[in-house]
Amino acid sequence: MTFKELHLISNIQEALKEEGYENPTPIQEQAIPEVLAGQDLVACAQTGTGKTAAFAIPIINLIHKIVGSKSKVKRIRTLVVTPTRELAIQIAESFDTYGKYTNIKTLVIFGGVNQVPQVDQLKKGIDVLVATPGRLLDLYKQGFIDLNHMHHLVLDEADQMLDMGFINDVKKIIKLTPENRQTLLFSATMPVAIRELADTFLTRPKYVSVAPISSTAELVSQKVYMVDKSDKRKLLYHLIRNDGLKNLLVFTRTKHGADNVVKALKKQGVEAAAIHGDKSQSARQRVLEGFKNQEVSVLVATDIAARGIDIENLPYVINFDLPNIPETYVHRIGRTGRAGNAGLAISFCGKDEKTYWQDIEKLIRMKIKVVADHPFPWKDEVVNPDAKPDLRNKKKTDQKNSNSRKSDNSKKNKKRWY
Ligand code: AMP
């Protein structure tokens, strides 16, 4: 597909040409027509996929059609909420770049700096406001921000906003905006809280997603161990000791889980450290350095914290907890087998995670080798797929899994995002 086929205004096409963009990226290909058609959108895409342009380009196109090229009274037409000042600045720059041949004016506001220049700009009038949640609410309360004429709301990096504790602020902000707005929610992962946010505040959204590494890297071998949740730590230690695994990146679903794994490994004398959102930037940096120098043998991370970590030649990735979003599996294991080096991705699948595993295999269109011969198989369950199934237990577990899925999906919008 080319940008021409998206029927964008020539002002944008010109700017894209200057940027050297020839073809839309997969997320842009999916998102741009939906946004242009006025649809609410939930997009699962990480930084690096071209996601900023996926919302900035069609929004510029839509605003330009409203405000035209003549200077009219400026009003906030689009609000983009994003978790960090760095992201806010980047997004505003993208609006400026793709909108350079339009009359659209963008302002970025964030906390920790003097508000006066921001307020001055607001008073002069802007079309697009890019903001971090705290400063936005602050200036709104002071009466400097009028959101009554807003058409588009973008929640960017929604999962990171959740992780940074902004979720209530985000809900407050949404409630300040007109109900007939078009809402776009971008998130690298889709934890339940984000899906609930989408179900509550978006109207019949379209769901799009991209996995930046679309096929699981060819150099990555993959294995899965069926292991009870309560035995996962023992199995991890067993693999480290018996198979001599070193330089492991271990993924857990929660920060608390990451800390627990570290504690258990340390008890056994394994040098392990956790990296997650509760740690300061400098603490994360120290841990990362230690891992790179191989002083720390096992790095335990949550998905959010692992984002942006670039470690070359990572030999092993362990999915201690399976991600509930199958694309996340692809992102995780894409961290090994890079630059021509072989990698091994090992997954631990608890009984309660069976449906997650099925979704992962469906996404990657592969059956992964099940390691049947290990000391901690599922209790009361037949793990060897060639063996005769124990139907009584299977039925029970399936029922349980389907119930837990049901409760996940029982929200207003029944459609699953992926
Ligand atoms: P993002 O995922 O929004 O952080 O974008 C990642 C990078 O991709 C940015 O440096 C963009 O300038 C660049 N980019 C976005 N869309 C395209 C495209 N269609 N062609 C080439 N580069 C792009």
Predicted confidence (pLDDT) per residue in 30-45, tens digit: 999 999 999 999 999 8
Q: What is the pLDDT of residue 310?
A: 61
Distance CA 269, CA 75 (A): 61
Nearest CA to ligand 1 atom 1: 50
Distance CA 350, CA 321 (A): 8
Torsion-angle region of residue 7: left (phi > 0), alpha (psi -120 to 50) or beta?
left
Residue 396 in this model has a pLDDT that exceeds 50: no
Does an H or E element contain 44, and which?
Answer: strand 41-44
Q: Which atom of ligand 1 is least distant from the CA of 90? A: 4
Nearest CA to ligand 1 atom 12: 50
Residue 242 in this model has a pLDDT that exceeds 50: yes
Decide: 209 in ligand 1 pocket, CB within 6 A.
Answer: no
Q: What is the pLDDT of residue 68?
A: 75
Average pLDDT of span 283-310: 81
Residue 175 in this model has a pLDDT that exceeds 90: yes
Decide: 21 in ligand 1 pocket, CB within 6 A.
Answer: yes
Nearest CA to ligand 1 atom 18: 21
Nearest CA to ligand 1 atom 11: 50
Decide: 46 in ligand 1 pocket, CB within 6 A.
Answer: no
Token digits of residue 122? 């607001």
CA-to-CA dists, residue 74 to 20, 63, 210, 375, angstroms: 30, 11, 35, 68
Residue 229 in this model has a pLDDT that exceeds 90: yes
Nearest CA to ligand 1 atom 6: 48
Average pLDDT of span 295-300: 92
Q: What is the pLDDT of residue 315?
A: 85
Candidate ranges 151-155, 241-245, 290-294; pick with highest mean pLDDT: 151-155
Distance (Å) from CA 307 to ligand 1 centroid: 17
The beta strand positions in 309-373, using DSSP E, are 316-319, 343-349, 369-370
Q: Which atom of ligand 1 is least distant from the CA of 46? A: 2
Q: What is the pLDDT of residue 245?
A: 86
Rounded to two decimals, the pTM is 0.58
Distance (Å) from CA 331 to ligand 1 centroid: 18
Distance (Å) from CA 3 to ligand 1 centroid: 13
Q: Please tell me the least confidently modeled range out of 107-121, 139-153, 307-321.
A: 307-321
For domain 3-209, give the CATH number. Answer: 3.40.50.300
Distance (Å) from CA 53 to ligand 1 centroid: 7
pLDDT in tens, 259-294: 999 999 999 999 999 987 677 777 877 888 888 888
Residue the block writes with tokens 């899994």: 401
Q: What is the pLDDT of residue 400?
A: 40
Distance (Å) from CA 376 to ligand 1 centroid: 45
**CA-CA-CA-CA torsion sign (113, 119, 125, 127):** positive
Q: What is the pLDDT of residue 72?
A: 67
Nearest CA to ligand 1 atom 19: 24
Q: Which atom of ligand 1 is least distant from the CA of 97? A: 12
pLDDT band at 69 (very low <50, low <70, confident <90, very high): low
Q: What is the pLDDT of residue 411?
A: 33
**CB 318 within 8 Å of CB 248:** yes
Q: What is the pLDDT of residue 185?
A: 97
pLDDT band at 235 (very low <50, low <70, confident <90, very high): very high
**Taking Cα atoms as reference points, which of 167, 162, 109 lies closest to residue 135?**
109
Distance (Å) from CA 328 to ligand 1 centroid: 21
Residue 216: phi, psi to the nearest 5?
-65, 130
pLDDT band at 387 (very low <50, low <70, confident <90, very high): very low
Residue 397 in this model has a pLDDT that exceeds 80: no
Residue the block writes with tokens 């809900």: 171
Q: Please tell me the least confidently modeled range out of 78-82, 192-196, 366-370, 395-399.
A: 395-399
Distance (Å) from CA 294 to ligand 1 centroid: 33
Q: What is the CA radius of gyration of the chain?
A: 23
Distance (Å) from CA 146 to ligand 1 centroid: 31
Q: What is the pLDDT of residue 270?
A: 93
Fold of 220-370: Rossmann fold (3.40.50)
> Over the chain, what is the mean pLDDT?
84
Q: Please tell me the least confidently modeled range out of 161-165, 168-172, 272-276, 329-333.
A: 329-333
Distance CA 341, CA 62 (A): 46
Kindly list the domain boundaries of the chain, sorted by start residue: 3-209, 220-370
Decide: 50 in ligand 1 pocket, CB within 6 A.
Answer: yes
Mutation probe of ligand 1 site: the residue of 21, 187, 331 with most atoms within 8 A of C-beta: 21
Decide: 389 in ligand 1 pocket, CB within 6 A.
Answer: no
Decide: 233 in ligand 1 pocket, CB within 6 A.
Answer: no
Q: What percent of the chain has pLDDT over 70?
A: 84
Mutation probe of ligand 1 site: the residue of 6, 18, 19 with most atoms within 8 A of C-beta: 19
Domains 3-209 and 220-370 share a fold: yes
Q: What is the pLDDT of residue 29?
A: 93
pLDDT in tens, 98-120: 999 999 999 999 999 999 999 99
Q: What is the pLDDT of residue 309?
A: 65
Q: What is the pLDDT of residue 313?
A: 63
Candidate ranges 20-29, 97-106, 327-336, 342-351; pick with highest mean pLDDT: 97-106
